[in-house]
Structure formats: C-alpha cells, structure tokens
Amino acid sequence: MSTTQRPPLEGLRVIDLTTFLSGPSATQLLGDLGADIVKVEALGGDSSRAIVGPTVGGDSAYYLANNRNKRSIAIDLKSPRGLELLKRLVAGADVVIENFRPGVITRLGIDPEEAVARQPALVWASISGFGQEGPLRDRPAYDMVVQALSGVMSLTGHPGAPAARLGIPAGDVVAGLYSVIGILAALQARQETGRGRIVDVSMLRGQLAMLSYQALYTSLNGTPPEPQGAGHDSIATYRSFTGGDGRELVVTANTPRMWEGLCRILGVPELVDDARFRDAAGRLRNKEELWAVLEARFAERPAAEWVDLLAEASVPVAPVKNVLEALDDARAADDGSLVMVSGDEAAFENVATPIRFVHTAEVAPGYPPVLGGNTVDILVDELGLSVAEADALIADGVVLANRVQEPVR
C-alpha cells in the first residue's frame, strides 16, 4: 500500500496560548500529528525564547526544542482591540489550549465556560500547576516544584543523599502528554455528540499518576520508600553495576530464566540453587549479599563485554550511556528518532515525535516561528482584515509583525 493517508490531525485548528514548556510540548505534538497550530504570543513573546543556554540563529534552544510546526501571531491581549482579535481566532478554532494560572484568562476577558457555551463544539484545555480548583490553585508552579510536591524527587537519587530532580522536565512533559490525551478524548466524544469539553490538567496530578506502583506500595506499607538509586524496591536483579573499565551497565533479570542466564554468564551457576537466592523473595531479602557477589564478578571484565555476553543469552542488559552517546546511536540507526529542522537561515537536529502511522504522510518539520512571523498572514488571510487595517494595528502597537518568515504550511 502506498503512503496515501493524510496526517491524522490535518484540518484541526488549534489556538495555542501557552508558554515555556508544558503547553508548547503539547501543541508541538499536535502539530507533528498534522494540526494547524496558531501560537498566540504577547508582544514580548513566549518567555522560553529568553532562556539562557545554547542558541541557533539567535533563538534559544529551549524555545526551539518545543515549538516546531507552529505559526506565530503576537498580540497585546490587555488591549480591547487585541482581545477582540483573540476572540475572533477562538471563534474559528477546534481547540484552545492555555497554561495560565487559574482565573488569569478570565480576567483577560475570555471565560472558558462562556467560550464553550458560545461554541458548543470547542475543546478548551487548561494546563496549570495544581488544577482549576483546590488550595494550591493560585500558586505558581514549575517542573521542579511539582516533582518536589509529588514525592518524585524523594525517590530520585541514592539513599543517604539529598533528593534529586529528574534530569528531564518530567513535570512539564507529562502534563503536556496528558493534555493531548484529554484533547483527543474530547475530540472523539465530539464526533458522537457534536459538543466539545473543557479539559483540566494539573502538573501535580500528572506527577502523582507517574508514581505508579510506588503510590500503592506506600499506601499499603504506610511508610515512604527510600530513594531508588539505581535499584528497584521489588526486584534485586533490576539494577546497575560497574564493569572493570568503570563503565556502568544495567541488568533487569526479572524472570527465573533470566536469573539463571545471569548466573551462568557471570560464572556463578551455584547461586541458582543457593537457598538464599533460590527465589525472587529470597534474592530481595538477601540483596546486599547477592549484590556483593555480582559486583565482584562484573568488575572482572569491561562493561561492553558483559553487555554482549548477556544480550546473546537474552538477559535484558544495556550500557548506561550519556545523552551525547544516545543521540549518536539514534543518528546511526537512522530510524526517524531524530529530525532535521531547517529554516531560511538556520537548521538544527531535534528529537522527533515517537508516534508512527503506517502508510500515512508525515508532517515535514516546520522551523519554529519567529515572534509575530505570521501576524500579517493570519490577520489578512484568516481574519479578513485589509492590509491597511493590519498596518494600523501594527502601528498602534496592538500586534507585532515580523515579515521575515513565511508560514509553516
């Protein structure tokens, strides 16, 4: 079968009122799946544009990483004329997504309940730190704040060491993923009822959901778990070890067959029948003794040799790689995990959306928009203003326009 099916969200119009990371990661995913994303920014732009760090073509890499496949219109939303423009954009949208603190969008002049009442088919998604209701609703929240409050930080790091933030922005990205799930569920329901929904996603709730079995373990035990380090609360042979060359590897020998294979490859087959380690419960109960034996054996060869031997024996194993090594591997695999994003004057390589659809056209990665790069196109071609009216809005400071960049699509 040829690639004839269109991207699954093609034709969907999304108004993106988000900044920083949780919302932009969500709308980037929707854009990668074919939706038309209109990024509405304040005249000063998304705050992530100014994050200190690497840059490409003068733009923050932090911003570039989360804003491909979008168009940008910059509006002064505190002005009556700017607010009216936003209302007109919303009137033509299928989805609105915002990550203001609860109540802020209403104070600006658009109430989500009223918007959905006027447009029954509209899906409105709100991402916030703590949800639209509750005692913490008005507090500002960032990724590390919800990692701390959820217990995630308490699980990260090694026993006896201070709590550690996850090295990835899980609080933001997980909230973005849950918002996309909520939006898609609301769109599916709309297919049957003709009516949209208001979707309320909390970063904190997202992190609590990510606790998974650790939440139930804690509820049942009545005591909080220790930092996990490089091990597992339930499986003694789910752990990292260090090879003789100082490189780390991880082994996840979860089943009896894997345990036996691990012992055979390490040259300690007698452990299989050792009363202390005969079953998973015994191995966990006597884990310190077991780890001492395994660590001594792993120290006898370089990590890469152990990885090859264990993999050949179908024991799940992997070297611990740094990010540069992981990206090099993905590039060498050439399996679509990385994508080159090219603009008029710059290009960069970024991680691609991992979702694949068979026999479906892929969305070409559009370079993240410059601030106001599509303002005039949107005002004239989509809202029906004349060029003179658009110029007047620019002159009066109601909108900001940068005519350098062409539309993404």
Q: Say what angle helices 203-210 and 170-193 make with each other, to 10 degrees.
A: 100
Amino acid (1-letter code) at residue 186: A
**Nearest Cα to Cα of residue 246 among 293, 302, 294:** 302
**Nearest Cα to Cα of residue 92 among 34, 15, 156, 194:** 15
CB atoms within 10 A of CB 309: 16
b/e map 58-80, b = 16+ CB within 10 Å: ebbebbbbbbbbbbbbbbbbebe
| Residue 232 token pair | 């597992």
Distance separating alpha carbons of residues 98 and 86, to the nearest angstrom = 13
CB 167 within 8 A of CB 157: no
Distance separating alpha carbons of residues 124 and 106, to the nearest angstrom = 13
Is 172 one of the catalytic residues?
Answer: yes
Distance separating alpha carbons of residues 40 and 357, to the nearest angstrom = 29
Distance separating alpha carbons of residues 314 and 258, to the nearest angstrom = 7
User: Tokens 């089943």 correspond to what residue?
Assistant: 255
Catalytic residue among 172, 279, 334, 391: 172
Active site residues: 172
